[in-house]
A and B are shown apart, each in its own frame.
Chain A
C-alpha cells in the first residue's frame, strides 16, 4: 500500500466518527459558546439581549465560582489520586489470578455497575449517624464514642470522596488490567532470565509499558471528577463546602433558568478542563504514538 492509498484509507476510516461527532455535537456545544455572550434567562423573555463580555466579567468577580472551583479541584486531585493507587493495586492483584478469574473480574464490576443514584442513596443510609450500618459496626467494635456524623460539616468532603473512590476505582482497574494484559509475556521472561527482582521488573517493565493506560485512566477520571454531580447532589446537596462547579452550574442553568451566565460557566469549566487535559497529556507524553 503506498502513501496515497494509506491516506485515503485513513480518511474513510475516520470520516464516519468525525461526521457523527460534528453533526450531533456541534449544535449543543456551539450554542453554549454563543449563549455565553448574551443575557438570556428562560423566565424573563423580555430582558434578553447581547451582553458582550459582561458575563465573563461577572464570572471573574463571582466568589462562589472560585470557591467551588477550589472544592472541585480538591475533590478531583484526592479522589483521582486514590483511585489510581487502589486501581493499580487491584489490577496487579487481578492480573495474577488464574482460577476464578471471571468471577473476580465480575465482582470488581459491581460498584461501577450500580446506578449512581442507587449507590448514593445506599451510602447515605449506611452513613446515617444514628441508624447507619457503619456507625453501628464501629460501635459494636468499641471504636466509637459519640456517633460520627459522616456527612456533617467536618467529614462531608471526605465521605463524598470515599464514596466516589469506591464507585469508580473499578473504572481505573479495568483499564489498567487490560493494559497489563497487553504487555507481552516475553518481556517478563527475559527479565526473569536476567534475574531481576520483582520491584525492578515492576519499575522498568510494567510501569513504563502501562504508562499510556495510566494516562488514559487518569485523563478520563479527571474529566469526570471535575464534572461530578449526582453523587454529591444526593449525599450533601453541596452543603459543608462540598459544592462543586457542576452543582453551581446546575443551579444557575436549571433552577434559575439563567442560560447566559450558566453557559459562561460551562465554557469556563470547559476551558479549564481542556487546558488541564492538554497539560496532563504533555506531562504523560502520550497522544497515541506507536511505540
Chain B
C-alpha cells in the first residue's frame, strides 16, 4: 500500500510539472489578452487580469478580417492534412507491407525532400504557382505544404503499419477480402493512433507556416492566421495585448478540435477494433 501511494505521488508530480510547463505560456498569454495593454509591466505583477477587459479581443475583430483568416487557415490546414494522408497512407502501406524494389531509395527520396531548406524553395515555387495562376487560391499553399509534410507522414505511417501483426490481414484475405477492404477495415483502424499523430503534426505545421503564406497570398481575404498576426504590428510598435488576444482566438479552436477529434474518432476506432 505504502509503495503504491509513493508511486502515484511520483506520477502526479510529473503530470503536474508537465501541465504547468506546457500551459504556463498559454495562461500568461490569456492574462495579457484580458488585461489592459500596460498591465504587463506592472510590479508587483497581477497574476490574474485586474480588471479583466475585452478591448483587446474587440480590437482583433475590428481592424482585420480575422475570422476570415482563421477560416482560411482551417481550410488550408485541413486540405493539407487530407491530401497528405491520401497520398502518404497508401505509399506507406506499400512500403511497409508489400515487397517494393528499391525501397530504401524511395524512403531516401522522401527524406531528401524533407531535408531541403524551404528558404531555397520559395522562389522557384512562387514562380510555378504564379504561372499556374494559383496565387491567392488555396492550392498555392496546400500543394507546397503537402510536399513539405509528405515525408514525415510516409515515415511515421510506414513504421506504424509495420508494427501491426500481419496475421490479421492474411486472415481477412483468406476470407476473400480485397486488399483495399483489408486496408480500410483492418489496418487503418488499428493504425488509428499513428494516423492521428501524423494528422495532428501536419495540421499544426500547416496552421503555423509563415513564409510561404506571406509570399503566396496577397489579398486580405486570402491571408492565413500567422500572416494576419504579423499585420497587427505597426512599423515600430508591437501591440502585444492585441496579438495575444488574436493568438488565443486562433489557438483555442485548434486545441478543442484536436481534443474532440481524438476523443470521438480515434478512441472510437481503436476501441471498435479491440472489441
Contact = CB atoms under 8 A, between A and B. Distances in A.
Is the pairing of A and B real?
Answer: yes
Interface of A: 1, 3, 6-7, 9-10, 13-14, 16-18, 20-21, 24-25, 27-29, 31-32, 89-90, 93-94, 96-97, 102-119, 121-122, 125-126, 131, 133, 136, 140, 166, 170-171, 174-175, 177-178, 181-182, 209, 212-213, 216, 219-220, 223, 227, 229-230, 246, 249-250, 253-254, 259, 262-263, 266, 269-270, 273-274, 277-278, 286-291
Nearest 3 CB-CB pairings of A with B? A13-B94, A17-B91, A28-B121
B21 interface: yes
Contact of B166 (A28, A266, A290): A290
B98 A10 contact: yes
B263 to A, nearest CB: 5
B194 A182 contact: yes
Contacts of B141: none
A193 to B, nearest CB: 20
Contacts of A104: 15, 18-19
Interface majority SS on A: helix, strand, loop or mixed?
helix
A182 B240 CA distance: 42
B115 A291 contact: no
Interface in B200-253: 200-201, 204, 207-208, 210, 225-226, 229-230, 238, 240, 243, 247, 251
Q: How large is the interface on B (under 10, 10 to 19, 20 to 34, 35 or more residues)?
A: 35 or more
Nearest to B128: A27
A220 B247 contact: no
A290 B108 contact: no
B247 A277 contact: no
Given A31-B124, A220-B152, A274-B115, A110 B93 contact: no
Interface in B98-119: 98-101, 103-104, 106-119
B96 A288 contact: yes
